[in-house]
Structures are given as C-alpha cells and as structure tokens.
Structure 1
C-alpha cells in the first residue's frame, strides 16, 4: 500500500503536476490523520470496554456480598425479636405476679432469653478489597460510591449498640445468674451440656421475686428492641443499594 502511494506521488512529480501533487499530499495527510484518530477511537473503545467489564464484575460481586449480608441480617433480626419475646415471657412472671412457668420453661427462657446475644456477622471481604485497592474509582455511579465509602460508619453505629448489650450480659447478667440461678440447669437444653446434671434444686420462684432480676430481663428486652430497630434501618439501606446494583448491572449488560 505504501509503495502504491509512493508511485502515485512520483508519477505526479515526473509529470510536473505540482498542484495535483499538493492536493494529493494533503489528502494523504488527511487519510493518515483520520487513520490515527480511528486507531485512537478504537483504543479508547477497547479501554472503555475493559473498564466496563471490570465495573460489571465489581458490581456483581458486591451484589452477591450484600445479598448474603441481607440474609444474615434477617437471621439477626429474627433472633433479636425472639429474645424480646422470651424476656417478655419472663417479665409476665416477676414480682408479685403469679408464677406460671415450670422449671424447664424457666430454664429455657433464662438460657435463650437473658444470656443469648445477637451479633450481626457481616461479610466485608469484597467491599474492603475494593476500597483498599482503589478499585472503587472504577464504579461511576456516585450514589453507590458514597454508600460504599460510608458503609463502615453505618456498621459501626450498629456494632456500638451490640457491644453495649454484650458487655451488659457479661458484666451484669452473668454475675447475677451465677449467684442466684442454676447455670447447669439453665444450659441443660444446650447440646454441649446434655451429660451433666445439677446436684442442686433451684427455687426459681424466689429468683423471680428479685427486682434486680426483673430489671435484667427488661434491660435485655430493651437492648434487643434497639438492635431490632438498628437492623431494620440497616436492612432498608442494604435493600436500597442492592436495587442500585441491579439497575447498574442491567445497564451494562
């Protein structure tokens, strides 16, 4: 092809057709420029296609991780609601109220109500990698980027209340129960404690008369109600971001 154009230029010069030669030269330059521009355009298109593919992969990975997080959050939410119901069942029998619980029922309520703690075990592997590696810049949707950037802060608010509940269980509820209840008996329903029985017969009617016991049950109920509100708010945020992921993924496919 180059030899062909060179031959044309040589023929024009030999025929002394300078005007036509200049026009031809300008045309050839324009063709070269157009070729370069086309090559740049193709290169840009290839680069954008590569970035779009990377962004799509990130969005799909994030969608999977947040969907898993939502499912885990649903489990934590249900658990916090169950603990509240168990605490309410305890509170219906405290103080001067008539004790209607059997020993087995009381043991189960104390074990699964007062000493049970909810923690939201979130998976952050993908989002942490995206932020630490700077891959977040590949994502062009600003709402998604802002959400991902603020995700740890959103989680910290939830974890802070969970930590308070755990500390109260460890530092307040356990010391009381170790002193006034039968730990062996209350944990009898646990699969890890099926072979050991207690040598003591605990009178739970007396325990239910303690104001401190009622306060502990009510405090546990209140903490789990607060956790429930936090989980519901977090669930709304997660559902919102999952919808954004889905919209962006559909646009890029």
Structure 2
C-alpha cells in the first residue's frame, strides 16, 4: 500500500514538472512571436519612412518643374505676343492704298525673312516621365496623377502641333527664298548677276501670293502655339495652387 501512494506522489510531481516546462515553452513561443511582430513592425516603419522620403523628394521635384514651366511659359507667351504684334504691323503697312511692291520688298528682305522667335525651350517634365517609366506614380495621390496626366497630354499636343506648323512654315519659307533670293544673302544666286536677273524679271503677282502663303503659315504657327501655351500655363498654375503650397 505504501508503495502505491509513493508511486502516485511521483506521478503528481512529474505532472507538475511537465506543466511548468509546458508553461515555460509557451512563454518562449509568445516572446518569439512578439519579437517577430515587433521586427516586422519596425521593418514596416522603415519601409514606410523610405517611401515617404521618396514621395517627398518626387513632389519637390515636380513642384520645381512646374514652377520652372510657369516662368518659361510666361516668357514664351510674351515673346509670341510680340511676334504676333509684329506680324500685325506688317499687315497694317500693306493694307493702305499707299502700299506698293517696294513696301513689301522692304518688309520681306529687311524684316520678315529669318525672323523666328518662339521664346520657349521645352517643358520640364523629366521627373513625371521618369516616374511613369519606373511605375512610381503610385506614390502620388490619384487627383495629382490625373492632373499631371492631363497636363502632360496637353504639353505633348502642343509640341506636336508646333512641330507640324514649323515644318509647314519652313517648307513655305525655303521655297519662297529659293524662288526670290535676297541680294547679298548666302544664296547661290543671291549676290550674282543671275540673282539680279531673277529679281528684275520676277512675276510680282506670284511673288505677292507666295509671300502671303509664308505669312499665313508663320502667323498660324504663332497663334496656335500661343493659345495652347496660355491654356497650359493656366492648368499648370491651377495644379500648383491645388496640390502645392503657394
């Protein structure tokens, strides 16, 4: 009987010891899990901090690009408005009854030919384009991405339109100068007797018609680009006001 009670006591001691070990093991597991969760949270914080730094940098770069565009657009618009005023001046001098072929000759050969002033070197969209290619636009708010996308489309349309009008004007201008070389210019016939012959025997009616084509091409190039740049300037300022501090 005594042996029986001793055996029961030993079993109870073993169960108590096992319970303690079990509790200890559970505690260790809990501590490990907590450590892993803390490590993950710290890693998430570090990653979020890294993303926030990149976002802040990109926003700063985009704002800088937009503000640079505002300055360039305002300067370019002023230049094109001055050029439009000059073109209007040509028209006003040729409309009166007193205007003659000599008036047109003076305008063409001393003022019009070779005068091209666009006053704009291009849009500052390197940051936006690089973010599109790298997939980083997700760093920005949906509203800002939408506005920047709209702005970029208008910029591209403006550049394409200017290039198309420039090609038309250049073709017209080169054709005009080839048919009616200016005296003293670096044209193969410009300063020689053949050039004098061309000028003396030119058809003034064709000369006037051809100049009118060049004039219209140039005027259309400026007017279209001026209207587009005013629209883009307005949108650029609106984006700065909406998404960036003044």
Correspondence for 1:228 among 226, 239, 245: 226
Unaligned runs of 5+ in 1: 1-12, 188-196
Identify the structure with bigger relative contact order (alpha carbons < 8 Å, sequence gap 6+).
1
Corresponding position of 2:74: 74
Q: 1:103-139 deviations in whole A, cap 9, x for unaligned?
A: 8776553146xx41526522443333222222323x2
Corresponding position of 1:110: 112
CA contact (8 A) 1:177 1:183 kept: no
Corresponding position of 2:237: 239
In 2, Cα distance between equivalents of 1:14 and 1:63:
73
Q: 1:208-240 deviations in whole A, cap 9, x for unaligned?
A: x92443453344223311111100111122223
In 2, Cα distance between equivalents of 1:97 and 1:120:
41
Matched residue count: 220
Corresponding position of 2:134: 133
In 1, Cα distance between equivalents of 2:183 and 2:121:
26
In 1, Cα distance between equivalents of 2:49 and 2:232:
34
Unaligned runs of 5+ in 2: 1-12
Aligned 1:57-72 pairs, distance under 5 A: 57-72=57-72
Corresponding position of 1:94: 94
TM-score normalised by the chain length of structure 2? 0.68
115-124 or 224-233, which moves further after superposition?
115-124
1:40 Cα deviation after fit: 1.9
RMSD of aligned alpha carbons: 4.0
CA contact (8 A) 2:151 2:232 kept: no
Aligned 1:2-13 pairs, distance under 5 A: none
TM-score normalised by the chain length of structure 1? 0.66
Question: Which of 1 and 2 has greater Rg?
Answer: 2
231-240 or 44-53, which moves further after superposition?
231-240
Correspondence for 1:213 among 205, 211, 225: 211
In 1, Cα distance between equivalents of 2:220 and 2:110:
20
Aligned 1:144-223 pairs, distance under 5 A: 144-149=144-149, 152-180=152-180, 182=182, 184=184, 210-223=208-221
1:44 Cα deviation after fit: 1.0
In 1, Cα distance between equivalents of 2:184 and 2:162:
26
Corresponding position of 2:4: none
Residues 155 and 102 of structure 1: is their aligned pair in 2 closer, same or farther, counting only changes over 3 Å? closer
